[in-house]
């Protein structure tokens, strides 16, 4: 009788207790302590979803986020400046990077010293939740979060800040990982447990896609696209680097694949701040993008 009962009501897998979100100070310590390890494995570009030749992925980013000559670009959560310096080697753009880690700022100086740039790159220490105070409002053509958004403990506020610093018609581009929806209760518990482990190991707060979209829509951002990055399978790096990193440094190491359910989706989210003042022109609906 008991066995029938327990089949009908399988015992739930142990669920990780809810943990408070990772705070900004924790993230700063995480990168101050681990940037050398990241660089040993990832090089200058600290992104898990990438191509075998990482510059192919950065070229893809240029095209996908529509980075162009003459733009003022904010790379929010810029790491050691690998992406920013690559973009500025290709474009006559004015790129500002902000990272919470003072150690990364120091590293970025070494990296920039070796580069020949068409544009300019300035990297500074700061909290990306303060970008409106740091840089002023309506100043950037692009705000990029390249696998940096999910560190934020207050992602609604962060999107609001990105809105403020963008010029009307400017674009917010987020490339990051998002919690997968639960396909069923059992796999859902596994996903939640694995995400709790990722958050703890990487000082992350893996984003909830629905929450992010709610804020984006509340602010009247214009949705340009949401998609999985369009990388050819033969060029995709297959997350080997992330596995190497985990094995080498024991950070987020996966002990067993037995209960493993792939817990996240990688997405690009691209949205535009309306080119008109939405609070004055409430009767307008946006149809055509200005070129």
Interface residues with ligand SAM (CB under 6 A) are 24, 27, 31, 45-47, 77-79, 82-83, 98-101, 104, 127-129, 146-148, 151
* Residue position matching structure tokens 């940096």: 148
Cβ proximity to ligand SAM: between 145 and 221 the closer is 145
Q: How far is the CB of 82 from ligand SAM (least distance, A)?
A: 5
Separation CA 227–CA 239 (nearest Å): 18
Q: How far is the CB of 48 from ligand SAM (least distance, A)?
A: 8
Sheet containing 166-179: order of strands: 120-125, 94-99, 72-76, 140-146, 166-179, 264-272, 222-227
Buried b / exposed e along 58-83 (16+ C-beta atoms within 10 A)? bebbbebbebeeebbbbbbbbbbbbb
Which residues touch 115 (CB under 8 Å, ≥6 apart)?
85, 88, 89
Q: How far is the CB of 259 from ligand SAM (least distance, A)?
A: 26
Closest by CA position to 91, among listed 64, 112, 117: 117
Alpha-carbon separation of residue 33 from 44, 47, 147, 202 (angstroms): 16, 17, 18, 12
Cβ proximity to ligand SAM: between 79 and 170 the closer is 79
Q: How far is the CB of 75 from ligand SAM (least distance, A)?
A: 7
Q: Which residues is 146 bridged to in the sheet?
A: 175
Cβ proximity to ligand SAM: between 79 and 274 the closer is 79
Q: How far is the CB of 231 from ligand SAM (least distance, A)?
A: 15
Cβ proximity to ligand SAM: between 119 and 274 the closer is 119
Cβ proximity to ligand SAM: between 67 and 98 the closer is 98
Closest by CA position to 65, among listed 272, 255, 237: 272
Which residues touch 196 (CB under 8 Å, ≥6 apart)?
16, 19
Cβ proximity to ligand SAM: between 83 and 170 the closer is 83
Q: How far is the CB of 142 from ligand SAM (least distance, A)?
A: 14
């Amino acid at each position: 009788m008991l066995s029938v009962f327990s089949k009908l009501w399988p015992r739930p897998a142990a669920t990780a207790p809810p943990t408070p979100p990772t705070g900004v100070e924790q993230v700063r310590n995480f990168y101050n302590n681990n940037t050398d390890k990241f660089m040993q494995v990832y090089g200058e570009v600290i992104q898990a979803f990438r191509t075998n030749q990482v510059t192919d992925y950065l070229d893809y980013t240029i095209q996908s986020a529509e980075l162009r000559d003459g733009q003022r670009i904010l790379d929010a959560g810029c790491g050691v400046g690998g992406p920013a310096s690559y973009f500025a080697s290709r474009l006559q753009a004015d790129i500002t990077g902000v990272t919470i880690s003072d150690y990364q700022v120091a590293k970025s100086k070494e990296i920039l010293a070796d580069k020949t740039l068409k544009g300019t790159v300035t990297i500074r220490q700061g909290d990306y939740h303060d970008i409106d105070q740091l840089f002023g409002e309506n100043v950037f053509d692009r705000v990029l979060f390249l696998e940096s958004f999910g560190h934020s403990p207050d992602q609604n506020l962060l999107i609001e800040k990105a809105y403020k610093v963008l010029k009307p018609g400017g674009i917010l581009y987020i490339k990051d990982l998002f919690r997968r929806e639960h396909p069923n209760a059992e796999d859902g518990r596994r996903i939640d447990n694995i995400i709790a482990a990722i958050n703890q190991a990487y000082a992350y707060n893996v984003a909830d896609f629905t929450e992010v979209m709610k804020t984006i829509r509340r602010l009247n951002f214009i949705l340009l696209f949401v998609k999985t990055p369009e990388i050819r399978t033969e060029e995709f790096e297959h997350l080997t680097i992330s596995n190497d990193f985990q094995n080498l440094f024991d950070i987020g190491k996966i002990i067993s694949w037995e209960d493993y359910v792939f817990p996240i989706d990688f997405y690009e989210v691209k949205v535009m701040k309306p080119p008109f003042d939405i609070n004055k022109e409430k009767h307008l609906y946006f149809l055509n993008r200005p070129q």
